Structure formats: C-alpha cells, structure tokens
Structure 1
C-alpha cells in the first residue's frame, strides 16, 4: 500500500472519521474525575479507573499489530475501533458508577488498540520522506476530535450531565464505524512472513528507546492535563465551566502545535524538539500543584499542548524510522503497547501518591520521570552523532 496516494476526498473522509473516533473516546474525559469524585469514588480507585484505559491497550495492542500484519486488512480493525468506542460509553450510560466506568475504560482501551491500523493505514499512503508530516497530520485530526469533545462537554455538561456526554460518545463511535465502511483498501497479498520474522523488530534499539519516550509523553499527558489537573482546579474552587475551558485551552494548544509540526515549522528536528518538550512538560508538572492560582493553571495548559502536538509525532516517526514495511503494524503494536504502560501505571502512581501524601508529590514524581526521559534522549542523540562521525572517519 505504501505510496498508493489517497484522493483528496478519500483522505478527508478518513481524517474526519479519525476526529469522530477521538471525539467518542474523549468527550467525557474533562469531567470524568470530577464526576467520579462527586459520586464518592476514592482517589486511588479513580487512578485505577483512569489507568484501566491503558491496561487493555497494553495487553491488546501487540496482538492487534501482529494480526494486522498477518491479515493485512486494516479496514476491519478500524471498524472494530469505532464500534468498541461506542459500546464503551453505552456501559457508562447504563452503569453510571465506578465499576461501570472501569469496565467502560477497559473497552475504550480496546478501541484505542485499533489506533494501530488507523496510523499504519494512513501513513502507508506516503513516502518515507513524508512520514513525519503525515504522522503530525493524523495526530492533528486526533487532537481536533478531542477538542470537539472538550468543547461539547464544556458547553453541555451542566445541562445534559455525564450521561448525556456519554450518549454523544456513543454517537461518535457509530459515526466512525459508518464512515469506515467507505474505506477502499486493495485486496491484501498473502503474508509470506512468519511470526518470528515479524517480532524480530522488537530488538530494534531505536524502536525501544522512542517507545519509552512515548511512554513518558502519553503517561504524563493522560495523568495530568487529561485527569488530575482538573481535580487540582476543582480543589481550588474552579467551576465545571472553568474546568472545561481549561481543557479546551489544552486541546487548542495541541491542535495548533500538531498543525505547525505537520508543516515542519519547527527547526532542529527531533534531536532538538524531543528533549526540549520533555523539559517543558516537566516544568508543567512542577508548576501546576504549586501555583495555587486558577488563571495561572489555565494559562499553563498551553504547555502540555507541545507534548501531544510535537513530542508524540516526533517519537512515533523516530521509532518507526528503521522498521521494514512488512513489520510496520507489529512495530506500531509494540510501540503503542509499550507507551500504554505509562498510561496504565502513571495514573495509578499519581493517585496512590496523592492519597498517601499529596497531589504535589504525584506531580513531582512525573516531573522527575520527564527529566529522566530528556537525559536519555540527549544521550542517545549524542551517541548517534558520535557513531556517524566515527564511520565517516
């Protein structure tokens, strides 16, 4: 499929389906922790509920990636993703309690496991030189879907409540499924590669390192700007509308930075951008629990936008740089399963630290992890540069 170009219409329909998919996955997110707190779900259990979204991804993404490389028909996986996202919110509607949300987040994780096929199907239509901008573009429509969800939740939460937001999520998932029916995909050639050949990609050091960078990025993003930052605002007395606006600021920032990244506006490439953004999100994690000011925290929401808008697309393209075409889905499955570890463990760690000590301790731990990621990235790029110099000599 590689370099089999989309028509403009096909590309736009597909990218619209991406936005509806992530709308379904995130329309309820700004008020998830607020809602669960309001029905007396404990902080530790909230951490488990948020982390459950990552657990099913962690378990399923690798098998999904392997299956996609064997079946070589991404359309089926994309359709399953749409249906699963809608079904997850159906559980939230029918069981509006902690257990219901736990089951639903596991199903939402199943839906997000199918993101492998969204990514591989889309980027497979572009040349190697276009991979960075193509990845940034699909991430931009990912973020547009989340932004649509955050705007809808902010405007409607007080009038239609959490149940109403979850009904909208069901509609978004069904829309994704219906749009996916129009996907045109060539009849796949039978795979001649054995499972051993596919999983040999796991030894790729570049894939391993940038999967770890993505683990930090996704884990910190989900735990802070998507979850516990909202609780910090709530504890300071912010209204539901203010919390929603804060989430919108974050998502507008994410869309803006991913749009700029897709146009290759930022100079220096991943070598400069990855360490820089990791320092930015570490700074964010230190400031949010310490400033004790609602307006300042709202302004700080611009900072994590660099994380999802720049860092994630850079980490993805860097991880896949040396992957052979027949291993792409398997490698993407590994990449996404690996970063799901952060989405699972970071919320649990933060929730546990917040319950045992303070919310600040949880955020500070995340800041330390981001700094560690920065040091690892800098060390890698320096070693890579030295290796190139040695080979040239």
Structure 2
C-alpha cells in the first residue's frame, strides 16, 4: 500500500467513472441498434458474447503482467485508449465486421479493469478490502448508470450513432486525466515467477468465488446488459422507456453495492447475502419472460438490479481476500478472466435459444443459472461451517461466511 493525496483519489475516481460511462453509454440501445440493422438474434448474441470471450483470454495474463512490472497506470491508460477505439469502430458501417470488432476492442478495454480494482484496493489497509471494493463498485455502477441513462435519450433525441460519438468524447477526456495518475511500484518481489503464479492459483476461495461469478455474469449479460432492452421494445418501449428500464435496474444496483458490506453482511453473513441475492435474481429473471407490461418490467428490473448489486462487490473482495499484495493483480486477473466465461456463454447460449424458441427462453436459462448458483452457495456455506467447527477455538478462520 502507498500513501496517496486526495487529489489523486479524486482523479482516479473520475477516471473510473468516465471509463464505465464510455463503455456503457451505448449498452441499452446496442441490441436494438443491431436489430435495426437487420442482424439476427443469434448474431447479436455472438457480438455481445465476444466482449466476454476476449476478457476470458486477456484478463489473467494482463493481471500477471501488472504484478510482474508492479504497475497499474499503463494498463489504465490502455483501457481508456481501447474505449475510444471501440466507440469509433461502432461508427463505421457497411459490414458486420465493424460491430464485432468494436465489441472485441471493448472487451480488451474491460480487461484492464483488473488494474483499476487492484490500484484502488492499494489505497486501503488489507482489512478494509471489503469497504474498498464496495466503494469502487458504487463508482462502477454509477458510471454505468450515467452512461446507460444517457443512451436512450441520445439515440432517441438525436441519432442512433450519438451514444457512440459521446462515448468516444468521454474516452478522450478519461485518457487525458489518466495521464495525471501517479503510482509507486507495489511489487515487493522481483517479478512474478511461475511459482508465484501457482501460489496464487491454488487459493481455494478465489476459485469458489470465480465459479459463482461465472453464473452471476451469465445472468447479468442475459438480462440488463443483453436482451432485456429487446423485451422492453417488444412491450412498446421507445427511448424514454428504455431509459426508465435502465434507471429502474441501475439505481437499486448502485445502492445495493454501497450498503451490502455494512447492512446485509453483518446480518446475514457473506454466504447468506449471496444466497438471498441469487434467489431474488432467479425469480425476477424468470418473471421478465412473462411480464405483460412495461410497468411490471420496471418492477422486475428494480428487484433484479438490487439483488445483483448485493453479490458482485462481495465477489471482488473475496477474490483477493486471501492473496498477498504482490499477487493481487494476478488473483484479480484470474477471477475476472474466469467470470468472463459467463459474460461470453450467457448471451451466446441465450441468443441461440432466443432464435429458436423466442425471447423468453433466454430469460428462463438465466433464471435456472441463478438458482443453481444459490444451491452451490448453500453447499459451500455448509462446508465452511463444518470446517470452522473443526478448527481450534483459538484459531481464527480465514473466511467470513
């Protein structure tokens, strides 16, 4: 950990906010935009899922490189540059390759999130990791919400390309601000050796959290970041209604990420909070498929957004909880690479099901995955309780269930 000035924290927070705005300013209108261009639901699923596939391939090696060099800033700058390039690619027309290429570059951009989370965690003491991840999750969701709220208004009030134009402009601003970030080398070892990587990879808690996060991101990228906007359109939504759908999901999502560590975890424990969130998410995701009106869709989004906001910050903190500072980017890279499998497979499978059996089948898949995650959480919570009982009374557990 290194001491940092308030101005540096403000710059970092602003860069993080802009980073997410530039990536999510087109998300609510993206699948309708592709649909309006005549692309099939299956191709839309492929484009959306390519974002996760790239992260699956890139995040882990990026985390290792960050730990090897003991630097986070170069990867943050890279992320802002990729945000700019991806928005510019979406503005190109005439071929299916451009939206696919733009989403692939956006996946590289999102892969640099490894560096953001680890750099921010370094501002806090180790025992404050949960609080740090709650804070940065709140900034993350706030940036996503601002971008997504602007999306429908820009597309409906100006032009379908306007979200990409404003996203590119935001990325330029974020890139300039990122150049003013300062950091010290955080690695107390001479690079990341293969033995160091193996030490991190053997962390049991890291893998459990990663598996649950795969399922969580399957649900997230099937719903709000995938096909929920198409459901809203099928119910008659225009730009204003899409904005309401986004607001209904993202505001509770932001609130939940901010209060989960202070209100829910003290009362229900970490595993209990995660189970509750998955059950609620599964019920609401199933409901999306059958709601007959926009008003009821708003309700499902509010509850689903809150539920998904409960577990995602906990996963971030748990992923690096048992890892030393020198290996945190590696651990975070592995965690984020593994859950990217959900960002890829969720919309890919849902796109195929939607093409064959209608839009509701993808939401049914998301519901089943959420409930499966709740079952896995219950099983691991039971195993953890048994493990604690076997520990000597004077020995503290390294896990907080």
Aligned equivalent of 2:334: 334
Q: C-alpha separation between the residues in 2 aligned to 1:350 and 1:390?
A: 43
Matching residue of 1:372: 372
User: Which position in structure 2 is the counterpart of 1:208?
Assistant: 207
Displacement after TM superposition at 1:240 (Å): 2.5
Distance 1:100 1:342, change over 3 A: same
**1:43 and 1:351 in contact (8 A); partners too:** yes
1:137 equivalent in structure 2: 135
Q: 2: distance between equivalents of 1:52 and 1:96?
A: 20
Greater CA drift, 300-309 or 55-64: 300-309
Shift of 1:191: 3.6
160-169 or 5-14, larger mean C-alpha shift: 5-14
**Normalised by the size of structure 1, how large is the TM-score?**
0.95
Whole-Å Cα distance in 2 between the matches of residues 303 and 359 of structure 1?
A: 20
* Structure 1 range deviating more: 115-124 or 230-239: 230-239
Deviation at 1:307, TM superposition (A): 4.2
Cα deviation digits, residues 262-298 of structure 1 (max 9, x gap): 6556532312110100001101111001122211001
* Aligned counterpart, 2:397: none
- Partner in structure 2 of residue 108 of structure 1: 106
- Alignment gaps of 5+ in structure 2: 394-401
Distance 1:99 1:229 in 2: 24
Matched-pair contact (CA < 8 Å) for 1:217–1:307: no
Matches of 1:336 and 1:189, distance apart in 2: 20
Closer, same or farther: CA 79–355 of 1 in aligned 2, 3 Å: same
Task: Report the Cα distance in structure 1 between the residues aligned to 2:375 and 2:390, rounded to whole angstroms.
Answer: 23
Number of residue-to-residue matches in the alignment: 391
Structure-1 separation of matches of 2:87 and 2:149: 18
Q: Distance in 2 between matches of 1:272 and 1:307?
A: 13
Query: 56, 59, 64: which is aligned to 1:58?
Result: 56
Separation of aligned partners in 1, 2:253 and 2:357:
31
Choose the corresponding residue for 1:48, options 46, 49, 52.
Answer: 46
TM-score by length of 2: 0.93
1:253 and 1:183 map into 2 onto residues whose CA distance is 31
Q: CA RMSD in A?
A: 1.6
Q: 2:21 aligns with which of 20, 23, 46?
A: 23
Q: Distance in 2 between matches of 1:297 and 1:211?
A: 30
Task: Report if the CA contact (8 A) 1:49-1:98 is conserved.
Answer: no
2:194 corresponds to: 195
Unaligned runs of 5+ in 1: none
